[in-house]
Amino acid sequence: MAGHSKWKQIKRKKAVTDQRRGAAFTKLIKEITVAARQGGGDPAGNARLRAAIDAARQGNMPYDNIERAIKKGTGELEGVNYEEVVYEGYGPGGAAIMIQVTSDNLNRTVADIRHVFARYGGNLGSPNSVAWMFDKKGQIYLDASRYDEDAALEAALDAGADDLTREGDQFIITTAPTDLHAVQDALRAKGLEPAEADIALTPKSTVTVQGADAEKLLKLMEALEEHDDVAKVFSNFDIDAETMAAVSG
């Protein structure tokens, strides 16, 4: 298990409080708004918007909230003008980190991100300092307890996916970014219901982080995730099961 997938496994084990749920809604609303602004309000012709709406529905966001966010993006309702940027840096143990940000005040946001890195023993880097270590991929998650691995792999490859791997209690199906929704639809047609699907920055190789560095790294990742302007965080770290159990609670 490594990088983005490892971090997702750790996050799923943490309790979801009402406060975090509200913060998640705020981030989803930003993503829907930006997606609608850039590609229009019809999810059938806007893959990014469709993914954002799917994520909002999986998070049990009320449809009225989704609809308002779309209308703010298309200009039918007054809304905030968000900008998007990707920050790059290094965490404890030499882990590369990519942070996707959506903000209405980038000066404030970058100062906050720099402070978080410094607090947990990391460094904010310059553009392209670590981006070359990652590839953009579509990722579809299936509950491994519900489906046979061989059957899931066959269905995924028939649907045009690149690969299927098992990580913990989930299968992760990898696709080209442009094929994500077509593969997702094909899987559903064969009776396999994705638990989640998104576009991720996946590491080309990983860095093993242990001990105190692993503890600080996970605190850094969590602090970045909790920032209101941070949409997604990706890394190339790998932590063994024993260390992960010790530091993730």
- Which tens digits make up the pLDDT trace of 183-212? 999 999 999 999 888 889 999 999 999 999
CA-to-CA distance for 132 and 204, rounded, in angstroms?
Answer: 9
Domain boundaries along the sequence of the chain: 3-74, 83-130+205-239, 133-203
Strand partners, 98: 88, 234
Helix (H, G, I), strand (E, B) or coil at 140: strand
Angle among Cα 130, 134, 140 to the nearest 5 degrees reads 145
First to last CA, the chain: 17
* Phi, psi (rounded to 5 degrees) for 19: -65, -45
| CATH superfamily assigned to domain 3-74 | Integrase, N-terminal zinc-binding domain (1.10.10.200)
Q: 83-130+205-239 belongs to which CATH class?
A: alpha beta
Helix (H, G, I), strand (E, B) or coil at 202: strand
Residue with tokens 């981006």: 131
Q: Which segments in the chain show pLDDT lower than 70?
A: 1-22, 241, 243-249
Residue with tokens 């560095």: 213
- Which tens digits make up the pLDDT trace of 108-130? 999 999 999 999 999 999 999 99
Q: What is the pLDDT of residue 60?
A: 87
Correct CATH for 133-203 of 1.10.287.80, 3.40.50.300, 3.30.70.980, 3.40.640.10: 3.30.70.980
CA-to-CA distance for 62 and 1, rounded, in angstroms?
Answer: 33
Q: What is the pLDDT of residue 213?
A: 93
Query: Which pair of tokens denotes residue 183?
Result: 């593969």
- Hey, do 3-74 and 83-130+205-239 end up sharing a CATH topology, with the first three levels equal? no
CA-to-CA distance for 69 and 59, rounded, in angstroms?
Answer: 15
Q: Cβ–Cβ contacts within 10 Å for residue 128, how many?
A: 9
Per DSSP bridges, beta strands 134-143 and 163-167 are: unpaired
pTM: 0.85
